[in-house]
Amino acid sequence: MFDSVAVVGATGAVGSIMRRLMEERKFPYKTMKFVASARSAGKELLFNGEKIVVEELKPEVFEGVQLVIGSTPDETARDFVPWAVERGCLVVDESGYWRMDPRVPLVIPEVNAEEIRKHQGVVSSPNCSTTQMVVALKPLHDYGKVKRVVVSTYQATSGAGLAGTRDLINGTRAALDGKEYKNETFPYPIGFNCIPQIGSEKHDGYTSEELKLLYETRKMLGDDSIMVCPTAVRVPVSNCHSESILVETEKPISVEKAKELFASMEGVVVMDDLSKKIYPMPCNCHDTDEVYVGRIRKDLTNPNGLAFWCVSDNLRKGAATNAVQIAEWIQKNL
């Protein structure tokens, strides 16, 4: 058991879920700190029956803390993680800032938990859209070696934070009422619309969100030869990311074998019966920790190709749950 644990970004959308999960999963600790920006400092949060006052994020807040779990913007993580490591903390960071640093393990516990042992003070949790895809790809890669992936994401507005969800709700209401609405987050209306850009423009017309699907997948599966062609789209759904995935493997995988492999993978649930209209959707995957797969079928253009649909709660397994699972693994194994 850690003597002292701190949750950074404790009042945010993901941080709030982290707090709830740590209560539900009975995460062991002696003392708990909640840390956030100056705007939230001084608020009281109830945790396991105890009122805890939120502390402002400053270097000295990490004195005496052993484990830090953080969910903050990248720029905030850039600054606070070194403060914590310098003071002897082990940091589980949910931001994107440290993920591709070669010194930092990038981890999904069901996929590559042993990488945590290589940490130098920081363990990173991957991007939400990458997480669900890699959990689904892992059993296929172990059996047939993934060579190429074509993925299109249908990403919920909650992935852009609380303001993103407000844009969906208020923008949709305004559209129905025939009124104007000024977005807080998105460059275009999200109600009754799809926006084919998430993140900033990067290499060769791909966005930062799309390149995460490439580089993070390679890092976690330990194979830089895997080719990924990603398209990331924001859709008018409040929570749970969906993905259409086409995977080419070195060894052909039948639909029946794929279902068997998915079912054997920890954290994956198969929902696949087209005749009965059974398949994963955001409405039946919300507020859960699993990765759901369905619409599993052979690629009609490639004997080594397999297509499937994948849905997961981006705030839980895509963010909060994965970070808490990493912390639990550390607690039990290090």
Which residues have a catalytic role annotated? Answer: 128, 241
| CA separation for the pair 202, 136 (Å, rounded) | 26
| CA separation for the pair 227, 170 (Å, rounded) | 39
Transcribe 218-261 into DSSP letters.
HHHHT-TT-EEEEEEEE-S-SS-EEEEEEEEESS---HHHHHHH
Q: Report the 10 Å Cβ neighbour count for 179.
A: 10
CA angle 291, 189, 15 (to 5 degrees): 45
Dihedral over Cα of 234, 235, 236, 239: its sign: negative
Pull the structure tokens for residue 66: 């052993």
| CA dihedral of residues 13, 15, 16, 18 (deg, nearest 10) | 130
| CA separation for the pair 322, 334 (Å, rounded) | 17
Transcribe 20-55 into DSSP letters.
HHHHHTT--EEEEEEEE-TTTTT-EEEETTEEEEPE
Pull the structure tokens for residue 253: 């995988």
| CA separation for the pair 237, 164 (Å, rounded) | 10
- At position 192, the amino acid (one-letter code) is F
